[in-house]
Each structure stands twice: as C-alpha cells, then as structure tokens.
Amino acid sequence: MSKLTRLTVLGSTGSIGKSTLDVVSRHPDKYRIIALTAQQQDELLFEQCQRFQPRYAVLLDEAACERLSKRIAAAGLDVEVLCGVAALERVATLPEVDAVMAAIVGAAGMQSTLAAAQAGKKILLANKETLVLAGHLFMEAVHRSGSILLPIDSEHNAIFQALPRGYAGDMKQSGVSKILLTASGGPFRNTPISELQHVTPEQACAHPNWSMGRKISVDSASMMNKGLEVIEAHWLFNAGADDIQVVVHPQSVIHSMVQYVDGSVLAQLGNPDMRTPIAFALAYPERIEAGVAPLDLFQVARLDFTAPDFVRFPCLALAYQALRAGGTAPALLNAANEEAVAAFLERRISFLDIPRLIETVLGKIASAEVEKLQDLLDADASARGAAREWIAG
C-alpha cells in the first residue's frame, strides 16, 4: 500500500507545472497538493487552487497577489495566499510537505530548490539551472540531508532509468563507460547557417517534438539546452565532460542511453511527453499511469543518429568549455545565456548574437573558485551586468 504523498509544485503555471498537475489529477488517492507557486499568472493559479485545494498559493508579483487573494476570498476557498520570493522557500520546506517539484524556470528557481534539498525533501528536479549554477552546493545539500533526487529532464530521467538501481555515483565501479545524451537538434537542425541570423522568436519557439516554455525552447534552438544538460548530467551522475557524448537523434524517441564496458547500451524510449518522467519520479520506485499514449514503433519506423555540429551550435561548445573550466564558469555561462535569451525574445538581439554575447561575457569575467553560495550569486550578477552592457551597446 502506497501512502499519500504531499506535494509542493514550484512553478505550477508553467509547462512542467501543468503536466505535473495533470498526472496528479489522475491519482487523487496518491497525491495531495500542499502548495502551488507562480510568478504572476493569478488567473491560472486561481483555477488550479479551485481544482486542487492547496493550503498555500504563492505569487511573486504584488498586484497579482492582491487579485488572487480577492478571488480566493470571494470563492470561499481555504487557501492562504503568500507573496514574494521568501514564500517560495517557505513552501518548499514546510514540515507537512514530502516532495517538491522544482519547475521554476532559470536561476530564479535555485534558492527554493536548494532550500528543499537542505530540508531533506524528495526533489523532482526540472529546474536544470540549479545544477548549472550551483551543482556542487546542491549535490552536497542532497547528500547531507539524505534527500531523494529524481531528475525530470527527459534525458536525465532516461539515464537514471538505464543506470543500475541504487547507482552511487561511481561510473567505473558500475561498469558504465559513457553517457549518451540524445538531442533532437531543435528547429534549426537543417536551416542554412546563413539564414540563422534572421530567425524570429516564433520560429525558435516552434520545437519539432516538444511543447515547452519559451526560455527552454530558445535554448533548444541554440542547443544551449543540451549544453546545460551536459553540465546537469555531470552533477547528477558524477560524470566527466569526456564521459558525456551528445548524440543528435531527431525523432526524440530514445530519451538517452547508458553504455556499459561489456558493450551493452541501455536506452529508455517513449513518446516525447514530459508526463512520463514526471509520473516516473512521482511514483518512484513504483509505476503509475501518466496519460501518455503507448509508443507505436511501427509508426516511428526509423531512428536516426548523427554527431553534434559544434560550428552550427557554438553554445554547445561554450557549455563544455565552462564545465571543463569549473568554478564559477558555469554560473557565468548560465547568467549570460538567460540575459541573451530574454533579449532575443524581446527582439533586441539576433539569434546568432546569443553565442556571441555568452562568449564575450566568458572572455571578460574570469572563472573563480567557489567557496560559498554568495560567490555564485556574485558571479551570476556580474555576468548579467556585463551581458546587459553588451546588449545596450
């Protein structure tokens, strides 16, 4: 008999947040929502409150908070509305919460995710930026508190499933020779390089296989998403940069693979639907129904694989470079990328300016050693400052 799992969903109005609530709604006997959070989407958050009756609802935007409070009161719902960034950490660490879905986008999700790890919560990790920015501190907090950490990113979830049960972070001892991280190649895999200068945010956000938030969609188009995922895999599975091979696989049916020393390669396959990794992590080590259509291999018919093109996708090379440099370099990379993506979405810079801007910031600010969280926050702030200067100039 499985007991009721009490959940906080950080970023419940986003793509991952909505998919999480979809899976939860299929198993009312297994999951109870304690807290939902969003930046400013009070209308959707209100609907989610009506449907899931959480104890807390958090918004960052003050005006949105006021609107939500009024609607909650008018509807007679027993939901406490909290406002501001400190409330994110509060609902991530409540004693009555068993598990936290970390699905805020960007570095903005780091502090609450880290707090959940320090509090020993079971963590369903979608927010890859936490690992890119503060991988060492986060993993240390997970190990110290005894948190169960389950990756939601489809590739890392696949790797987790293909590794031996109870994998303790030693690739050699487990007979693992390589992690094969698959990538769709995004919407511009075959676009002539000369046309990339003029691609629009709409084109960049039209991913061929996955429907996702705008930031990660642009990251997929530039393949920075895969770069961030290489760094994510490094921390999750204690794998070196040379142990992680990116494999372009346009069908997104194999979600990643693990190669063993005996020649075996284990893969996890499925339709590209984030409800699969979400359901896996929610129910782990059991399995639950996720609402995902069964994979039809006859319809898939073929699976293709090619090597990544580092000339077309310089962001991927920059991420490997930052991982190898270590220290604050991944934090600088992540912050410069967030600023670049935001400016691209606002049509202030071109698509090809994204890697140019990141390279400039990494060239300007030297990587330093990390002793404490503040070192990372300082690196993040200085990279954003340099990036904004470049964008304004």
Q: Please name every residue paired with 8 in a beta bridge, in sequence order, or none if there are none.
A: 35, 100
Question: Segment near ligand NAD (CB under 6 A), from 142-150, 212-220, 262-270, 324-332?
Answer: 212-220
State the Cα–Cα distance between residues 214 and 361, nearest whole angstrom: 23
Q: Least Å distance between CB 13 and ligand NAD?
A: 4
Asked if 103 is part of the footprint of ligand NAD (rule: CB under 6 A), the reply reads yes
**The token pair that represents 205 in the structure block:** 């956000």
Mark residues 62-101: x for contact with ligand NAD by CB under 6 A, - for none: ----------------------------------------
CB-based contact 53:36 (threshold 8 Å): no
Asked if 153 is part of the footprint of Mg ion (rule: CB under 5 A), the reply reads yes
Among 134, 212, 335, 365, binds ligand NAD (CB under 6 A): 212
Among 105, 282, 316, 332, binds ligand NAD (CB under 6 A): 105
The owner of tokens 């609107």 is 67
Closest CA to 193 of 304, 310, 307, 334: 310
Question: Segment near ligand NAD (CB under 6 A), from 36-44, 62-70, 195-203, 383-391?
Answer: 36-44
How many residues sit in the footprint of Mg ion (CB under 5 A)? 3
DSSP per residue, 151-192: E-SHHHHHHHHHSPTT--S-TTTTTEEEEEEEE---TTSSS-
Question: Segment near ligand NAD (CB under 6 A), from 125-133, 184-192, 327-335, 368-376?
Answer: 125-133
Question: Which is nearer to ligand NAD, 171 or 334 (by Cβ)?
Answer: 334
Question: Which is nearer to ligand NAD, 71 or 215 (by Cβ)?
Answer: 215
Closest CA to 77 of 43, 52, 96: 52
Asked if 129 is part of the footprint of Mg ion (rule: CB under 5 A), the reply reads no
Asked if 232 is part of the footprint of Mg ion (rule: CB under 5 A), the reply reads no
Question: Segment near ligand NAD (CB under 6 A), from 72-80, 138-146, 210-218, 321-329?
Answer: 210-218
Mark residues 127-156: x for contact with ligand NAD by CB under 6 A, - for none: xxx-----------------------x---
> Distance from CA of residue 256 to its chain's centroid?
16
Is 387 exposed, middle or buried, given 0-12, 13-18 or 19+ CB atoms closer than 10 A?
buried
How many residues sit in the footprint of ligand NAD (CB under 6 A)? 26
DSSP per residue, 254-292: EEEEEEETTS-EEEEE--S-THHHHHHHHHTTS----SP
Q: Is the dihedral of CA 120, 240, 370, 85 positive or negative?
A: negative
**The token pair that represents 122 in the structure block:** 């079971």
**The token pair that represents 176 in the structure block:** 């693992």
Q: Which of residues 155-174 bind Mg ion (CB under 5 A)?
A: 155
Asked if 213 is part of the footprint of ligand NAD (rule: CB under 6 A), the reply reads yes
Give the footprint of ligand NAD on this chain (CB under 6 A). Answer: 11-17, 38-39, 41, 60, 103-105, 108, 126-129, 153, 210, 212-213, 215-216, 274
